[in-house]
Amino acid sequence: MMLVSVISYIDRNTLALLAPTILREINLNAEQYGFIISAFSIASMVGNPAWGIILDRIGVRRGMMVAVATWTFASMSHAFAIGFRSFAAARAILGFGEGAAFPGSMRTVMQTLPAEHRSRGIAVPTAVARSARFLRRSWSRLSPPRGDGAEHSGSPGASGRCGCSTGRCCRAAGI
C-alpha cells in the first residue's frame, strides 16, 4: 500500500512538471490549466468517500486492483488528449482512481497492524508518499533539457503528455 501511495503522489505532481510542454503542445491557456487541475482535485475529493464505500463492500485487495487499473488507464489516456476537454477528463478519471489510495491505506493499516502500531503504520506511508513532492522537484532539476521539446517524455520526439510518472519521467530523469 505504501508503494501505491507513493506512485499516486508522484502521478499527482507530474502534471506540474510537464505543464509548460503540455500547455504549448495542446494549445491551452492558464485558465484552462487551472480547470484541469480542479477536475483532478474535485474527482479525488469525490473519490475518497466513494472508494471507502467500495473498499468496504468488495475488500481492499480487489478494490485496490480496480482503483490502480482505473488510474493506470487514466494515466495512459493523457497521451491521447487532444484538447481541453479530453485532458480534463483524463485528469478527472485519474483523480477519481487515485482517490482510493488513502482509504485503502487506512483500511490496510487497521486490518493488519495491532492497535499499538497503527499510528506508525499510518504515519510512515503518509510521510513517504508526501515526500514524492520533493522527489518530483528534485527530478525536474536533474533532468537536463534535450532541446527537442521532450525533456521529460522519456523518448526522443515523444509528445511528453503521458500522465504516468512511473515510467517515462523516471527514465528521463535518469532514475
CB 28 within 8 A of CB 22: yes
- Residue count of the chain, please give it: 175
pLDDT of the residue at 164 = 38
CATH code for the domain in which residue 84 is found: 1.20.1250.20
pLDDT (tens digit, 9 = 90+) per residue, 112-163? 889 898 888 888 767 776 676 666 556 555 555 544 444 443 333 333 333 4
Number of domains in the chain: 1
pLDDT of the residue at 141 = 57
Range of the domain at 21: 2-172
pLDDT at 51 over 90: yes
